Structure 1
């Protein structure tokens, strides 16, 4: 069910943004729609998700109607701070959005379209568990306006899936990819590496299987052991080994080499695409600090410098909206120093990098040593941008510390 919400000031019951807020009409705007339902809880997962036994007072079959109440609230709130902007991107995340009927996802997308409009060529992504994808469901999603399917493959190796508590049939990944292709959708595959007991050969097998499916986009994330998860408890009891950081580095290098050889370019530390047209524009908007409204329990939003987050449990979320109140639990307005720090933290991770001019003080003076250490591209720095090398991507946290101290 995820970790605790951030600390912050109380959010007003009507959801209004702070007095004086003025949204930039030229800034990109996106919508994130959180679907917090899963059939089972994966042992490594720390997301705000719920199985049927954990819902306690919330109904999955009423969820679309509940979320649409927040869409209407967003239309009113954003209309008070500037002209309404069409959504450049829409992302259904989870949880498992495809546990809902495709008609419910379509109604939620229609709600966003009605409230804000969709920009021409808008990217609309739905995350999917491969076991919940059929030709009919994907065809219906495409007809509603979905343009991209992000499939949770994680691994092609049964014992790795087992330690992650992933229950999907690996063969269904290929079935889901074929269904998405037949419907004309872009396809992304999500992979996780570094699971306890996973060898370099296991990881190579997963990469080979993924690349054989010729997706448009691949995300590959190192496993992070989050406090409070089943996996963290198993490691603490000695039932499974901790992830090996050196092995994870080898796995990352293997992934980068295999993906590059297959024609995929990295554009963010954990993401590769077959050319700029297949990059996740929604996730790039996060890394670039754009505006978005996050709909659903536990979802986070950012508009014109204000951040806020919703109550976590679906029942509390539904109760707030049924009472005509905002589901926001708290908010914050970071000061200039905090925004500058976050700007470096996020934008240094992407291929386009960050202008040297946006790094201050000791951080800017550290650029020369980062180049000497092989962490930052020297030629790019001469052109005024900080771009990570492969070694820099492996040590991205250390680069950020150097740039922000």
Structure 2
């Protein structure tokens, strides 16, 4: 089958083994100019150091690095947090939330440099291929998409290393890599290695960010967060940008072993996969927002926000950020969050983030009404009529059955 004629392609580049192979492979198989695009989403200096030189050494004509950290937290993570999204009850969507902003910035660069194609290094087994290509379809349906892992005949790490060696392309990767990892400002994920057998307990190498809870300090630490309209704006006495608040809470949470999960999740493509995810700051933020919600959202509003969270988690996980339904859910949850303002104190201790104090000027909690002591605002006899009407349908059904 003949390949589509491509003049210039922008490839999502990380500097790892796969994308180092992709650049020369694209040049050889599509005879095109290759521009590398690197998204700084908070993965750390270690992964970004020398990445431009590495891309050019692999054959890229240019390499662009985009600092997306603040934008990702403010425009993708915070809106998702307001929905309460938590995929399959545990996963705080660390990888999923980063993909739409990366794909969007990649498309913008493609427009800027006049490219006629986009390329990603996702495998044909995972969720990310759908997330990238779903975003490409929504934002740039006219650009051709190349997915080398679905085209080439390279099947192993050894073959990829041999491919580079044959072309004298330098690469720091080796055969000793055991785990597949993805990192950004929100989380670190670890897959593969011993985790591929679900009967194997995670070993110390499966965790790279957080202290083991049993090794965390024996003295708890308390952090105070101020939430305004569903967003963390102030931590421990200081106003902070969304990204800076996350960095600060990551450091605090990691020291106390906060935010570890070991999950077997349902991938979009149908198979199950196991991963160890670390989300220290995000776990603390989620606890803070939910605590303020408990104070200010009435019963039906809270139930609706819970429904939004379930649906949002599925849409974000499945790569459907740039869809009318996802944007409608984000808008609805943002509207519900208009009164979600207050202060929360959270205790960090041995892997647990526990809310100990919360208050809000919008709180619907009234000590005067809720007290078990004497009060002058609630006539308990009124409950009889409420219960009679509330259970009326059950009463009518029972009477019919008796007759």
Normalized against structure 1, the TM-score is what?
0.23
Structure showing greater Rg: 2
- Normalising by the residue count of structure 2, what TM-score does the alignment of the two structures yield? 0.23
